Chain A
Amino acid sequence: MPVTLPDVKKTWPNAINTVTLGATRDEGGTRTKKVTVGGATALPFHHFEGAMPYPPAIAMEVWDVAPQDWPDVLAEHFRDVWHDPGLWAKKCVEQYGADLICLRLAGCDPVKENRGPQEAAQAVKRVLESVGVPLIVWGTGNDDKDNEIFPAVAEAAAGENCLLGTITEDNYKTLVALCTAYKHKVITESPCDVNIAKQVNILATDMGFKPEDIVIYPTSAALGYGLEYVYSVMERARLAALRGDKMLSQPMICDIGIEVWGVKEAKASERELPEWGEQKERGPLWEATTAYVYLLAGADILVLRHPKAVASVRETITQLMGDGLR
């Protein structure tokens, strides 16, 4: 008795926006490589019913100052280069195959070294001249400080079609204006809330910014520290987008390394917590596992730190793309 299965394939009225980062010499920049994300017409990796033309991209995190609090299992891979963001970025691209560099201006943070706009711009230039991949520049999260440093940052990277962030409900005008003037894309941040995610996009587009030039940052949480909230917010946003909501149709970015390497499951050595096993494996696996889960919820760009997590997430993306990657 041969069985005919009812058709369960879904078609959706809307697709996720396609966003391309980086600009070559012909386009007014100096990048040798561009990265495109988004464009999906179905839920993540649902190749049986829709297209996912671009695989999610991996950005590796680089700082403008040498980090003080990275645990050894992470720091050992970057200690030789982290005095210079250019060398650090080069290592990430050449040795670990990063698709993008995410420069975090941690040194400008008022509670760290409180560096100024010129130093921030200098770090951006160092990375741009050292690697050919597109650049993400992530501010300090301190509104006043970000508004002080981003004018110099946006200008230093003029024409390079970078992704700058973040803007929030309470602080968006300066960076949106800068991204418009210097032709960059912007990251819109919301505190794990679909409605606010939408609201920030509306605020940016009300200033005349194109919705196609936005990437959503729905906030990220490490595995075990609220991952399920973020996962469901991302799934809800992606479903709303596919059903037609243009103000949620942007690709999503997950800032994973900074969350994971702050929790004890990644940071604690096996001397402190022998019952959790080897930190050398546990730390990068905690980071990679956080990424595996967000991939299913719709992550289009993943910001990661550990080379081993990067390699495994890349392999996972390849497998998830399966026949969809042509």
Chain B
Amino acid sequence: MAKLTGIEIYKHLPKTNCGDCNFPTCMAFAMQVAAKKVGLEQCPHVSAEAKAALSEAQAPPMRTVTFGAGDRAVKLGGETVLFRHEEKFHHPTVIAIRVRDDLPEGEIVQRVEKINQLQFVRVGQLIGVNAIAVEHVAGDAQRFSQAVKLAAEKSPLALVLSSPDPQALKAALDICAERRPLLCGATKENFKEFAALAKESKCPLAVRAATLEELAELTQQIKSLSVEDLVLHPEIKGLADGLAKLTQLRRLALEKNFRAVGYPVMVSVTGSDPFLETALVSTFVCKYASLVVIDGAERWQLLPILTVRQNIFTDPQVPNAVEAKLYKVGEPGPTSPVLVTTNFALTYFTVEGEVENSRVPAYIAVVDTGGLGVLNAYADDKLTAEAIVKAVKSYGVMDQVAHKKLVIPGLVAVLKGEIEDLGGWEVLVGPEEAAGIPAYLKNEWK
């Protein structure tokens, strides 16, 4: 956020200390506004000019732009940092898949339906493709309208409409304006017509230029036509050029508060090799694209792409936790092992993965450690003998097995005796690392 000091805000206030804002002085009020505790509108006397000047200065350095409608609407931008460890990345990169209008209608429908299916559940979260980018490459505007119509009918996903021809775009908008598509895109040649379309339809507009200077110039021109929901679409020549341009755009917006590029950025990736395409998308998910348009629509390609996005946009400040309960891997029975672990998501999913690898059906009893891993939880008194016994008892799992043996993580071997005393079970010390679980279950578990 661009931050204004109390003094800067104070300069724009009436300085009458009238108290109508419920603060004793204008200065006191200004300090509260600066701290974002109250809004400027709480002063009934502030002038329109002052409001405009302050809201401009207080606007976040990168605008958040929404396209799509209803629960499929997606947010682009609003980013506040260059590195995720500094805070977090806010709005996950929207992945859009391209549908060209020169395909036969049957193939368009097939492709759209295939794109709709590109949804996966990972680590308990639904991750999926968010948008379809209909691209006008056929000579005839009719084909574009028809392709847009099919995409809108067959898919609930957000739409990107891409055409160099304002007339074709206008006709397509008549079909789907209520879906609030992203219009793509204005260039220095056609920006007036595109801006008029965007203004009339209230749809966001992508702005395309070869250099960052041209891009900045163009956004200012379009902004002067009262269109402000913009998405930057720099032309890029390969990975190195793309990384350089997107890095500089992000720095200009956040570090220099340079308004002309204070917008989310999109990248169009074209390439026949799905591996290289994945390299490009992964790079731009990490490094600063809010929207990436790709060709690939195979499940084996989208799963890693969507997982990169899920990982990189994970909030580093929030411990990632799974529900503390009894989990089953495979179909465990009375002779299956019972393993204890913590509810730190990474720990749990690693343990679960290794138990799956072992092909030994098992129970995993997850103890609520507030999202801490084994060692941290132990150090923090969250993974204690009492906590383990309480959790295991509450799951009733020891009544479901015949052996009364509990496997605890090797890193907390020291808890063995106490758990045996409290729980009345035999406690076995498992491996220190999850990677040792398959060998342990195969060789030592009996």
Contacts and interface: CB of A to CB of B under 8 A. Distances in A.
The number of chain A residues touching the other chain, given as a range, is 35 or more
Interface string B265-282: 000000001111011001
B353 A46 contact: no
Nearest to A266: B304
Given A224-B307, A275-B120, A321-B240, A3 B213 contact: yes
B156 interface: no
Interface stretch (A58-66, A206-214, A286-294): A286-294
A285 B346 contact: no
B311 A320 contact: no
Interface stretch (B14-22, B195-203, B252-260): B252-260
Nearest to A9: B248
B418 interface: no
A20 interface: no
B286 interface: yes
Interface in B280-315: 282-283, 286-287, 298-301, 303-305, 307-308, 310-312, 314
Interface in A14-55: 45-48
B213 A2 contact: yes
Interface stretch (A123-131, A179-187, A230-238, A243-251): A230-238
A4 B216 CA distance: 9
B139 interface: no
Given A228-B311, A322-B240, A316 B304 contact: no
B273 to A, nearest CB: 8
A276 B299 contact: yes
A54 B286 CA distance: 22
Contacts, number: 167
Given A228-B311, A235-B85, A320 B243 contact: yes
A296 B283 contact: yes
A319 B305 CA distance: 19
Interface string A137-179: 0000000000000000000000000000000000000000000
Nearest to A233: B85
B1 interface: no
Residue among B303, B316, B346, B353 with the highest chain A CB neighbour number at 10 A: B303
A242 B256 CA distance: 21
A293 B300 CA distance: 17
A236 B83 CA distance: 9
Given A8-B248, A8-B256, A267-B357, A229 B346 contact: yes
B272 to A, nearest CB: 13
A308 interface: yes
The number of chain B residues touching the other chain, given as a range, is 35 or more
A226 B260 CA distance: 36
B244 interface: yes
Contacts of B275: 284-285, 288, 308, 312, 315
Given A8-B248, A277-B299, A322-B241, A228 B276 contact: no
B300 A316 contact: no
A223 B212 contact: no
A282 B303 CA distance: 8
- Describe A's contact surface by its main secondary structure: helix
A235 B312 CA distance: 12
B278 A282 contact: no
B251 interface: yes
Contact of A293 (B216, B308, B346): B308
Interface in B222-242: 238-241
A46 B247 contact: yes
Contacts of A47: 240, 244
A275 B299 contact: yes
A48 B244 contact: yes
A13 interface: no
Contacts of B55: none
B276 A324 contact: no
A278 interface: yes
Contacts of B354: 262
Interface in B25-51: none
B282 A293 contact: yes
Given A228-B84, A293-B286, A323 B220 contact: no
27 contacts: A1-B220, A3-B217, A8-B256, A45-B243, A47-B240, A111-B443, A229-B346, A231-B312, A262-B357, A265-B303, A265-B307, A278-B298, A279-B300, A281-B301, A282-B300, A284-B275, A285-B301, A288-B278, A289-B278, A289-B308, A292-B279, A296-B286, A308-B275, A312-B276, A315-B275, A319-B239, A324-B240
Interface of A: 1-6, 8, 45-48, 111, 223-229, 231-232, 235-236, 239, 262-265, 267, 275-279, 281-282, 284-286, 288-289, 292-293, 296, 308, 312, 315-316, 319-324
